[in-house]
Structure 1
């Protein structure tokens, strides 16, 4: 074995020792690992309470807030919201409430779709409705992406098409 090989081996050993030392330092500074992403803090959301609050406030009979406030907060009436909700849930089963591996109930379809609508209606960041809807930022982003995809796939041909000549005439008449 030549001197170059010994130098390479010692260099590799030093690098490996440094990597292991950094790993130990990171592990001790985190105070242990729990969750799927190393170093991320886990927030236990009360998903059931979030669904119940949302349901009581807007969807119960009678709801806490009247139709006028629903329309103001969601930028549409409740019948339209529920039509879109029902079609999206039927189209994409990821919006259906399920149990996780531990047996805990996940987010309800109302929580997922309310979050997506509020992000779109108000242009707010994904974590803005976290405290009310009880949905985490990464889940909110994923729900929004799936919601937009479902809406385009279901309603795209009818509502997201280019305007035809009748549409243009109507729009020009409104503009005058």
Structure 2
């Protein structure tokens, strides 16, 4: 039932919530969510739906990825997911751990590498154009106003 509600609210063609609602809730566009979902399903069998010991369908991939993203986006404790996703604290923690490990595995070669001089020059240029000169290497950029900062991070 929780899976059906999630699908009806956000993922079905005539869903209850709009694309803008989805973006506000998940902090990303729906197509990005679906891309992440496909990638983690392809790499990690944990994100494929299985049957539990009672032969009932377990949590769907959508439920698992949603729970992990909500915990990260809102800083929700894993025990709070029981009310909204019907997942136990242990399952939520395991899901978050599996999700993070899988994301690193999938995207580390493309996004988690030490920048070369060409990358640094491009980053310096982008930062300067945006009004953040000298930002590379600085951990303290908190004094800048960021008009597009997500509400949860303000």
Q: How many residues align?
A: 128
Deviation at 1:129, TM superposition (A): 2.8
1:125-164 equivalences under 5 Å are 125-164=77-116
1:34-49 equivalences under 5 Å are 49=1
Structure 1 stretch displaced more, 164-173 or 108-117: 164-173
| Residue equivalent to 1:96 | 48
Q: Do residues 77 (structure 1) and 29 (structure 2) align?
A: yes
- Structure having the higher Rg: 1
Cα distance in 1 for partners of 2:7, 2:37 equals 14
Which fold has the larger relative contact order, with Cα–Cα distance below 8 Å and residues 6 or more apart in sequence?
Answer: 1
Deviation at 1:134, TM superposition (A): 1.6
Say which SS state the counterpart of residue 127 (structure 1) adopts.
helix
> Which runs of at least 4 in structure 1 moved beyond 6 Å after TM superposition?
none
| Residue segments in structure 2 that go unaligned for 5+ positions in a row | 129-154
Structure (1/2) with the larger helix percentage? 1
Deviation at 1:123, TM superposition (A): 1.6
| Residue segments in structure 1 that go unaligned for 5+ positions in a row | 1-48
1:100-139 equivalences under 5 Å are 100-139=52-91
